[in-house]
Amino acid sequence: MVDAALAARARSLDEEHHDTDLRGRFRLPAGTTYLDGNSLGALPVGVAEAVADAVTRQWGNDLIASWNTADWWGASARVGDRIGALVGSAPGQVLVADSTSVNLFKVVVAAARMRPGRDILLTDGDSFPTDVHIAEGAARVAGLVVERVSPADAPARIAELGDRLALAAYSSVDYRTGELWDLPAITRAAHDVGALVCWDLCHSAGAMEVGLDDHDADFAVGCGYKYLNGGPGAPAFIHVAAQHISSFDQPLTGWNGHAEPFAMSPDYAPAPTIERARVGTPPVLGVLALEAALKAFDGVGMAGVRRRSLALTGFFLECVDALVPGIVVASPRDDARRGSQVSLRHPHAYAVVQALIARRVIGDFREPDIIRLGFAPLYLTHADVLRAAEHLREVLGTREFARPEFSVRGAVT
Ligand SMILES: *Cc1c(COP(=O)(O)O)cnc(C)c1O
């Protein structure tokens, strides 16, 4: 009976959010509920064709001329601008390049150089490991000391640190719990003491409005393969606010970031534009795949995407409360504090996730006990959400997760 009421509710929510139902722009396998778009986004329509064209025509036929004729050279900045539009960064401030890890390294060292005499880098010790590892590694290079403070406590700590703080580097959404941190407040606090901020948008770009310019964010980094759907290992992006570009003295002074790369000068002079964030030759096929993938966002406002995302995650919480009462919800119930995922805690989380995957409900496991379900707004419906919750009820109710095969670990969880 509960299910019938929920099914009716799913139908009415799907009608209400019909205008942002963009499943038709993706190639999803039949019979699959994909709740891992926050780890590897689904394949958008047109990407396979764009990559085939890049390989067979641009590379195969036109060969090296394609650097000019297909503007491979300009792709990093061109695709950067497209991402900029999704995260509220005006053209000329975002570049597609390298990985999130490498881009964060550039920002930390550059920020230290822009704030000489300040010795503290503030970051979240519970952030995605590479963010903490890179913060530590880059801080050593730059002569900073890393202090680990939860984003919840960051504004107060920033005020205490005052002019010792060089950079506050935080994720806008916690990768484990899906908690949406207060980007405007942390940014303001850092600016109040003359420090810089860098936001990691891996779990927000493509899922919600970020408003980098509105909130005066100095720097941001993020990856191309999660909600932006750029494919496995897609290149990442970096945002440098316009007023900082001329002083963005990043440490990886490769020839692609040179003002005149083809002058082949032995002396380095950084490009006057965002292209100074470049390092070496970009992975062109990956950049073009990402560009094609971003067409899934054409004509879509991020406010509507965010509304859909909150409706999906909110409805999932409703379903969980009704069908799996008692399970621990690790994500905030307050819409204003929730990203686009719902994480649940369970002592057998790994096995539960495997049992769900066997039922073609694909989420992932995160240490130590997190069932992490990502709700990529563009290609999920409320009907999918209910189906996932129903499968979860069965997996838990029948203890299906206890089957031995569900405890075997692969290299990637
Ligand atoms: C996914 C993710 C990364 C990934 O970094 P790579 O350099 O692409 O491996 C980094 N930080 C956060 C917060 C992430 O969620």
> What would the pLDDT profile of 169-196 be if each residue is shown by its tens digit?
999 999 999 999 999 999 999 999 999 9
Q: Is the pLDDT of residue 82 over 90?
A: yes
Task: For 86, list phi and psi in degrees, rounded to 5.
Answer: -80, -25
pLDDT of amino acid 1: 56
Distance 155 CA to ligand 1 centre (A): 24
- Of ligand 1's listed atoms, the one at least distance from the Cα of 99 is 7
Which pair of tokens denotes residue 273? 């534009």
**127, 133, 175, 412, best to mutate for ligand 1 pocket (most atoms within 8 Å of CB):** 175
Q: Is the pLDDT of residue 393 over 80?
A: yes
pLDDT of amino acid 314: 98
131 in active site? no
Cβ 172 under 6 angstroms from ligand 1: no
Cβ 229 under 6 angstroms from ligand 1: no
Helices (H), 227-295: 242-245, 284-293
Paired with 265 in beta bridges are none
Q: Is the pLDDT of residue 164 over 70?
A: yes
366 in active site? no
Cβ 38 under 6 angstroms from ligand 1: no
pLDDT of amino acid 3: 87
pLDDT of amino acid 413: 78
Strand ranges, E, within 7-71: 33-34
Q: Which of 39, 13, 82, 24 is nearest to 378 (CA)?
A: 24
Q: Is the pLDDT of residue 48 over 90?
A: yes
- Of ligand 1's listed atoms, the one at least distance from the Cα of 226 is 1
Which pair of tokens denotes residue 318? 């409703």
Whole-model pTM? 0.97
Q: Is the pLDDT of residue 106 over 70?
A: yes
Q: Is the pLDDT of residue 391 over 70?
A: yes
401 in active site? no
What CA–CA distance (Å, rounded) separates 165 from 168? 8
Average pLDDT estimate for 309-328: 97
Task: For 240, list phi and psi in degrees, rounded to 5.
Answer: -125, 120
pLDDT tens digits, 357-384: 999 999 999 999 999 999 999 999 999 9
226 in active site? yes
Distance 101 CA to ligand 1 centre (A): 7
Q: Which of 74, 91, 92 is nearest to 287 (CA)?
A: 74
128 in active site? yes
**36, 39, 100, 103, best to mutate for ligand 1 pocket (most atoms within 8 Å of CB):** 100
Catalytic residue, chosen from 200, 218, 364, 384, is 200
Cβ 273 under 6 angstroms from ligand 1: no
Average pLDDT estimate for 310-339: 97
Q: Are 167 and 199 in contact (CB under 8 A)?
A: no
Closest C-alpha residue for ligand 1 atom 5: 100
Average pLDDT for the chain: 97
Average pLDDT estimate for 307-320: 98
Q: Is the pLDDT of residue 411 over 90?
A: no
